[in-house]
Structure 1
Amino acid sequence: MARAAVTRGERAGDTTGRSGAEDYPLSAVPGNARRGFWPISLVLLGFTFFSATMWGGGNLGVAFPLWPDLAVIILCGSTILAVYVAGLGYVGYKSGLSTALSARFAFGELGSRWSDALLGFTQIGWYAWGTATITIILTRLLDLDTRLQAPLMVCFGLAFCLTAYIGYRGIAALSRVSVPAMLLLIVASVSVALQDAGNGAALLPSGTACALTLPEALTIVVGTFVSGGTQVANWTRFAGSARIAVGSTFLAFFLGNGLMIAVGAVGAAVYGLSDIVEVLAVQGLLSAGVLMLFLNIWTTQDNTIYNFSVAGCHLFRTERRRLVTFAGATTGTLLALLGMYDWLIPYMTLLGVFIPPLGGVIMADFFIRHRGRYPALGEVATPRFNLPGLAAYAAGSIAALVGPGIPPVNGIVVACLAYACLVRLT
């Protein structure tokens, strides 16, 4: 075994200086930097209020009646997602470590760099998609010249990283304003939609536009945010208690994610549109739609690029999180300009199969191998590769690819069980 390299940010008691200013990218969050329930919850709600989730709900809205079929699907899928994310959220609170730092224990000193690259590239891809999405929708809503798309992508790509550049404080400040505003707009839009549908009567017959099986429907509900949820420890490491960490993740990934699915389903059933921005425009609320577009994209973009910066700092073993944030936003903007919007979704769906097993191994490593408490970073010997963790991850990925049922759930469960068995054997 090779002894883990100790950086300045990993030394015990490092709560000031660059580590604190950069949101502790290579060390545990100390007690004096922990936060309460609503600050954490608003940040996570802003993360889960995302257009792609509503589009997933739109696919369900034309395939199932709202009651009781779709309601049961949303309830079951959101429960699965919330339980998984809450487990990882507890790991983040208890250890004070980001997902990337927890992966060092689960996969080894060098093995964790591979997971950093996978998680980081996924977030860059979503950032590119979000940057392109807001530009394309805005030019269509306002009937702007398409030649403006390139400069607008550059503008949005760099602007949306500003709150993430500041760090947790910047993202929390934006969420305090944006989340209540988005909730008000959602309530107003759904109220109008139900009136247009005859107080909801039009939503009761079975959908006929496409055929989806129950496992496929649950995969949509779970899969829309299972990749982002795998990195929830980046936020819950700031939680002041286990109740705050678990409660905030349930609020965001059960109620928040479920609400977005339901809103997309209602919009698709009534107007044939799954995105609430376009629904607001059809309802004659164009100004509200444009405001919703900015808030919806921005609150997810800054979380996304923040997640990239945390993974990037661990990959390169640097505490300069702000520099990594800017570099990631620039890369995402370039990918948006190169047309990644057109082929991102199928690729990200594939990554959604490979990322959940990471969370399964991390939870099994924390609760089974380390019995709910990591040793201090830099104070223990860490292998270059943790072979049981890597083998369990491979088993989970194969199960997600070829097994029947819900691929993300298959990957998480098999990875957990495989790691538990390998730890017992070794």
Structure 2
Amino acid sequence: MTFHDPTALAEQTPPRLPRAFTSMMSTSAAEGFGDVLARTLLPILAVSILGFGTGFVGILNSIGLASFLLLGVPVGMLIDRLRNRHRAMRVATIARCLVLLGLFASLYAGWLSGAVVIGAAVVIGFADVVFTTAQSTVIPRLVQTERLKHAYSRLAIVNQTASTAAAATGSLTLGLLGMPGMIWAAICSYAASVLFQRGIKLDSAPAQRSPARRGKGSFRDGFQTLHRVPALWALTQSGALTNAGVMLGNTVLPVFLLRDLGVAPAAFAALGIVSAIGAILGAGLSPRLSAKFGLRTLRIAAAFLSVPAVAMAIACQQLPGHELIWLSAQSLTWSFLVSISAVAGAEVLPRSVPAEELATVGSAQRTITLGIMPIAALLGGAIAALTGPVPLLCVWAVLAGAAALPILREQSLKSFR
């Protein structure tokens, strides 16, 4: 678990990652592109074609997160029992491709209904869980241990760039080619992912549980292992606090900016682009900053600096200059710091957990870090309706800073750089 001096030279030079990982990045980009288009497409079908309202759209938007919360651990246990986890990725991608083909056919045949759209969302959400879980076990087999953090950094950059490009492309495609064009763009993206996955070559079979342990797994195993590794448990707690802040900000900030400050919708959309740039920069710089300052110091600094980053939004009316200047700075800085926190420490899980338990423990970790998000959104929205958004923005800042506390308490993180 300790990084020693022999890796110092590697930290100073750009790492050479294997060709198979390049295929993994291409696959991930195509998957992310298709996911954004699909998740944009479903609410549009529900509202524009079927005439449903916000309640139905809320259900659609919750299905993806609910899939990770309800199915993450069982899927992780299943993935850990598979010998060919790469094949699970391919099956998940093909399933999403077929679902979108079914949507296209039902749209033209007149079979489209609320049940069909919900069913599509469920299959896409389940396939996303399978793909993400299987991918998390394949990456450590493609990349040397000392290169993992660089691999996760590049993957985060690719994913963020693909998501940003997909959002812009989706709007353009919808305007030029309509709904069928958007559906086919998503289908082609998933099909490209299947082709890219052919370049992911694995040299050996993954480690398997012993026959004595293979049938004894339970839902608690992943959480127990997670709790037994102090460094991993501290990062999980910190990530949950950061994600609670992220979701609270995503819930309250649009109301504060659009309703209370009167920010134009076009300007608000531009802030999203600034935020994406910050996330890409943070993912790119995270490995270098971690190598220079150490993982523990970097995560503590990112959490503490997040407090003034959020404060810029709270105090944008009192600060000198135009409000949009401070809101842009807030979007850029907050996304930059959150991206650093997301990438820094991503290699701790595969370095701390046996390969045969990686999917199960990773799923347990995601259940905690993602599970806090709908709770934060629901509570934040309800409380903000009573108190207004500003007090909740202050809570957001407190949560962002509190993410440093689990890291401060855990000394074993000093061994990671």
Q: Which has the higher helix share?
A: 2
- Structure 1 length normalisation: TM-score? 0.31
Q: TM-score, normalised by structure 2?
A: 0.31
Say which structure, 1 or 2, has more relative contact order (CA 8 Å, 6+ apart): 1
